[in-house]
Amino acid sequence: MGRFVDSWRSHLLVTFSGNSEGRPSWVDKIELGDDVGFFGPGSASWAVHGGMATMVAGIRALLMQTLHPGAMAGVHDWSRYREDPLGRLSGTIQWLVTVTFADTTLAEHESSRVGRFHDRVTGTYRDAQGVERPYAAGDPELLAWVHIVFTDAFLASHTIWGDPIPGGADGYVREWAKAGELVGVHNPPRSAAELQAQLDAFKDAGILKSDERVAEAVRFIRNPPLRPAMMPFYRVMFAGAVASIPREYRELLGLRRSLLPAVWATGAVLGLVRLLLGRSSTSEDAARARIARLAEANPA
């Protein structure tokens, strides 16, 4: 039993960090720097992004992202998700964790790296009305959509499966607007009400659509190439992510809420993962070490 637990813990760490010790090399940079960062201890962003519900939030965000045909075209045309899904996941995690826990210079540098990748992601897509349109990953509409569904997914998932958020939902949306600005989002939402209004605006404008590309992506997200021992637990979290998505978006995605108690079961899986990995986050530990060093060097 102990060998199974050790093996499963190693699989989890490799999947989500790319390293069997749970501390990828880029986390070392988080210990460096000359300021607290954009957020800091006690912030909503630290609470949400340091919680276990991020695993479900990532699934929900990926599902929702597919509904914008421009965003889906960029993923279809440029992403390596089929050949290297864990590499793409690791890259997204690196940006999220760095912006959350690093000092401001490193957070800005990491966001610039993402922006440089976006510069070459261009092409055309057919919109919901069948009109062919050009796209670029740096288009304001696409950046806004990705930021909105990301923020919505992490907020909703933490609200269901996490602890209370410092400053509440408004505090998280307001803080994470900074991350949107770092990657070029114009006028990101700064309250939960603004977040919902901007999400509704995409739906009400007839921008979103479902097609075979969406169905293909959903199939992949439902059955990613994870190790067989992890798949039962992943399927529970997938069902939890689907259950957390409002019905109108589930219908566009061609998904149905499970008849089983997916929300409860997801909470149980997240509790097991917390037990296996522990409550400590290597990224948060690195950030706290940096902050402690700064406080020691500059006592009040």
Distance of CA 161 to the CA centre of its chain: 15
Report the DSSP pairing between strands 132-136 and 122-126. antiparallel
The pLDDT tens digits of the residues spanning 78-126 come to 666 665 555 556 677 888 989 999 999 999 999 988 777 666 778 888 8
Q: How far does Cα 223 stand from its chain's mean position?
A: 18
* pLDDT tens for each residue of 195-224: 999 999 999 999 999 999 899 999 999 998
CA dist 220 and 271 (Å) reads 25
- Separation of alpha carbons 194 and 275, rounded Å: 36
The position carrying tokens 């059955």 is 223
Going by the DSSP 8-state scheme, the letter that residue 137 receives in this structure is T
Q: Which residues contact 137 (CB under 8 A, 6 or more apart)?
A: 74, 78, 117, 118, 119, 121, 122, 143
Please state the domain count of the chain. 1
Domain span at residue 16?
A: 2-297
Alpha carbon distance 218, 180 (integer Å):
25
pLDDT digits (tens, 9 = 90+) for 268-299: 999 988 887 666 678 888 999 999 999 888 77
pTM: 0.89
Alpha helices in the chain (DSSP H): 2-17, 44-49, 54-65, 69-78, 85-101, 104-119, 140-161, 168-182, 192-204, 212-222, 231-244, 247-253, 262-277, 282-297
HSE, CB side, 13 Å, CA atoms: give it for residue 42: 2
Please check the confidence at residue 23 and state whether its pLDDT lies above 90.
Answer: no
Q: What is the pLDDT of residue 99?
A: 95
Identify residue 177 by its one-letter amino acid code: A
170-181 per-position pLDDT tens digit? 999 999 999 999
Q: How far is CA 171 from CA 45, 182, 260, in A?
A: 9, 18, 33
For residue 158, which amino acid is it? H
Give the residue carrying structure tokens 């997200």: 221
